[in-house]
Amino acid sequence: MANYVLFISENKLKDSTAIGGNVDVEFMLPYIRVAQKKYIETKLGTDLFVKLQADITASSLSGVYETLVNDYIQDALVHWGFYECIPFLRYKVMNNNIVQKTSETSENLTDSEAQSLREEVRNTAEFYTERLIDYIRHNNSLYPEYTSNTGADVSPDKNAYYSGINVESVRDRQSRITLDDFLPPNLSM
């Protein structure tokens, strides 16, 4: 993981979420990386994602790219990172078992409470992701890499929310199968 460039710092993560100062950053890093790949690269597309990583590595992030990272990407990423961490905060993987951590001075959340918390974090992450997408779409001339993806590159996904059901209009869906394909004509959306 040492060669993987993250778009947020430990301080940004802890200052922007309910993650306390006593949570080990080494524990969180794999989940931040997963969140960055799952939720940020898919919204930026490969070319813009790689450009930002290269600029950060070279300490040359500036101008509109710095604005994109600091004002839009980081806000979405901190909440997606927290979302990815939540299921694992109470468990520890050991050589021969996975154990649940406990404390004498606190009470563990129930599974339904943890799921409710996770949904609230997801709602916040989706809100910031929508802001990110709207900003790029309204300023795409500033980011030529946003539209230059080809071949096996990840092309930007313009949907911030996922509800488990596809409700895209016929114009947006191209050749994908959606709910409309299974509804009688008088019930089509």
Identity of the residue numbered 20: G
pLDDT at residue 1 in the model = 46
Helices (H), the chain: 10-16, 25-35, 41-44, 46-57, 63-68, 74-85, 111-138, 170-173
pLDDT at residue 102 in the model = 72
Where residue 21 falls among pLDDT bands split at 50, 70, 90? low
Positive/negative CA dihedral, 176, 122, 4, 58: positive
State yes or no: pLDDT of 78 exceeds 80.
Answer: yes
| Token digits of residue 12 | 């940004």
Q: What mean pLDDT, rounded, does the chain reach?
A: 83
Please, which residues bridge with residue 59 across strands?
none
- What span, in angstroms and rounded, lies between the C-alpha atoms of 86 and 109? 11
Mean pLDDT of 4-10: 87
